[in-house]
Amino acid sequence: MVIVSLVAVFVHVDQPTPASPIPDSAPATPCEEPRPNEPCQSITHAGREVRYALLRSEEETSETAIVDFGGPGVSILSGRFNLHEFRNSIPSLRNSNLLFIEEPWVRSNQSDECSSSLSYFYASSRTGHPDTLPGIENVINQCGISGDDALAWGFSPDHYASVVSAIEATESIELNGFLGYSFGSARLSYLAEVELDWIALIRPFPVGVAGEELLGARVEQSDGLLDDFERSDHEFMSSNVANRHLPVEAFDYASAELALGYLPGDEITDSAREIAGRSDHELAGRLSDSLWLRYGENSISSGYLAYLAEVCRIAAPWADDQGDESPVAHVLASLHAPCRDFTRPPGEPARIEATAENVCVVTSDQDPLVPDTLIRRYLHFDNEVDWLESPDGSHSAQDGTVECLESVGLSAE
């Protein structure tokens, strides 16, 4: 089961595709290792290699829109998003070049010390209190999720903005639009004071929210997702399942509750019933692993480091006491425990400062991750915003995209 992470609490992302052997002894180029499953270009900027896909319009134009599917922890060139099919499914984008930028973690390797620290932290999260988890400092120090070291995993506002400018210069293109899903709104906030023609955000991350409020809303939405299903009144202890090194425990069912919201809408109902009733241990294990990006025994994907590098930063400050009011709150607090000491760097914007004449935002009061009210509270633009409502109950839903693009002036005709 592969689930797309699209906002501030995330779920399983693809591991980088293993690279095919490179002939002779020539060093692999960025677009050779790991081997992408999408068109790939690359630049070297500020001493770092950046991969991206630029799908040009059939008619020559410099006008270009960034498309950001969210994350962090998403490999946009993995093939999972099928970029050409995405473009073809939205005719209103056919007259623009589309730019998709790969996150840095895909080409960064964990040190042995970092891998060990992540494994230990995950193992302790399964049993420990989020306020006293051992190993947090080792994750921060050994894996480098803050400061310049974090650029190995995720983007900082300055680095992202300079990368976009460098790609514009290299490809002779001009950024005029932005289509962002979920955490894509955070990437838009990195483009401070950029003037665009249009902005379209689908179920966006509420830029400006602090960690404590973010997690509180997430727990509330997760609980609401299971309101219509009968919950088991028996305390679940442990069960072994096939092809999983760890037994499924109460921790995994709580993690699975958080992961449900990323499933496609037509899968949520049946899966939520099984999770609420504690009746499908294999499903609970898969969903739990997807939330924690766990594979093997206790190994954690570098996508988790990308998540920490960006989310800890943009949602700072975080509460010192994460609490453990419920098993779900406990898991969510543990997942974000390395964020605890993050502060917002001086001068970094706490809101979206990019401007556009036409802005559209799609939200849903059924969204299982972030409620519509929280998005409206924090997402502000200088110009008027066209707010559209989606009835879909999955956070990964892309419905409303076509209507939102039409609202900002992009027609299929």
Would you say 93 and 65 are in contact if contact means Cβ atoms under 8 Å apart? yes
1-10, 39-48, 131-140, 316-325, range with greatest mean pLDDT: 39-48
Residue 10 confidence (pLDDT) above 60: no
Helix (H) or strand (E) holding 133: none
Q: What is the pLDDT of residue 130?
A: 81
Mean pLDDT of 315-323: 77
Amino acid found at 165 = S
- pLDDT tens for each residue of 82-104: 999 999 999 999 999 999 999 99
> H-type helices in 177-326, by residue range?
184-190, 211-225, 250-259, 265-276, 281-292, 302-314
Residues 36-71, buried b or exposed e (16+ Cβ, 10 A)? bbbebbbbebeeeebbbbbbebeeeeeebbbbbbbb
The mean of the pLDDT values for the chain is 89
Q: How far is CA 123 from the centre of its chain?
A: 23
Burial class of residue 162 (count of CB atoms within 10 Å of its CB; 0-12, 13-18, 19+):
middle
Please give the average per-residue pLDDT across 127-140, as a whole number.
85
pLDDT (tens digit, 9 = 90+) per residue, 266-300?
889 899 999 999 999 999 999 999 999 999 888 99
Q: With 90 as the cut, is the pLDDT of residue 15 above it?
A: no
3 state SS of 236? coil
Q: What's the predicted TM-score (pTM) here?
A: 0.91
